[in-house]
C-alpha cells in the first residue's frame, strides 16, 4: 500500500501529495476548487452530524470520537474501497479544514485505512 498523508486543505498543493481527497462534509470557506486541486470530494465519508456535534473539537473526547468514527467507517465500505483503489495507484493525501492537525476526522480515517486487514 502507498503512503497516506493528511493535510489542511489550506496548505499549498504539492506533487508529492498524489491523489488529493477532501474528506469533510462541507467545502472549506475561502478555498477555490482550482486552488485546492481536489481530485475527489468524499463528503459522505465524513463523520455524521451527530458525532461532530458531540465531539465539537473537544480534545478530552478524542478517544470516544475515534471509537465512534471507526464504527461509522465500518459501514462505508464502498467509499473506503474507492480510497484503497487510489492507494493502489500511488500516494493519497486526505484533506481537511480543521485547524487542529492532530485531532480531526482525516487523522482517524488514515488510522482506519492503515490498520491491518
Q: Provide the pairing of β-strand 4-8 with 19-22.
A: unpaired
CB 100 within 8 A of CB 57: yes
Please give the pLDDT value at position 38.
97
Name beta bridge partners: 101. none
Distance CA 92, CA 20 (A): 6
Q: How many domains does the chain have?
A: 1
pLDDT tens-digit series, residues 76-96: 999 999 999 999 999 999 999
- pTM, whole model, 2 decimals? 0.94
Angle ∠(115,116,117) on CA atoms, nearest 5: 115
Alpha helices in 1-117 (DSSP H): 33-36, 49-55, 62-73, 77-89, 105-114
pLDDT tens-digit series, residues 37-70: 999 999 999 999 999 999 988 899 999 999 999 9
Amino acid at each position: 500500500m502507498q503512503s497516506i498523508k493528511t493535510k489542511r486543505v489550506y496548505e499549498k498543493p504539492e506533487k508529492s501529495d498524489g491523489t488529493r481527497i477532501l474528506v469533510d462534509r462541507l467545502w472549506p470557506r475561502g478555498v477555490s476548487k482550482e486552488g485546492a486541486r481536489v481530485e475527489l470530494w468524499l463528503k459522505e465519508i465524513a463523520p455524521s452530524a451527530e458525532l461532530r456535534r458531540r465531539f465539537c473539537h473537544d480534545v478530552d473526547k478524542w478517544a470516544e470520537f475515534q471509537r465512534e468514527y471507526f464504527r461509522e467507517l465500518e459501514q462505508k465500505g464502498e467509499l473506503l474501497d474507492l480510497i484503497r483503489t487510489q492507494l493502489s495507484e500511488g500516494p493519497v493525501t486526505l484533506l481537511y479544514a480543521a485547524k487542529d492537525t492532530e485531532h480531526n476526522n482525516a487523522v482517524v480515517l488514515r488510522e482506519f485505512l492503515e490498520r491491518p486487514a
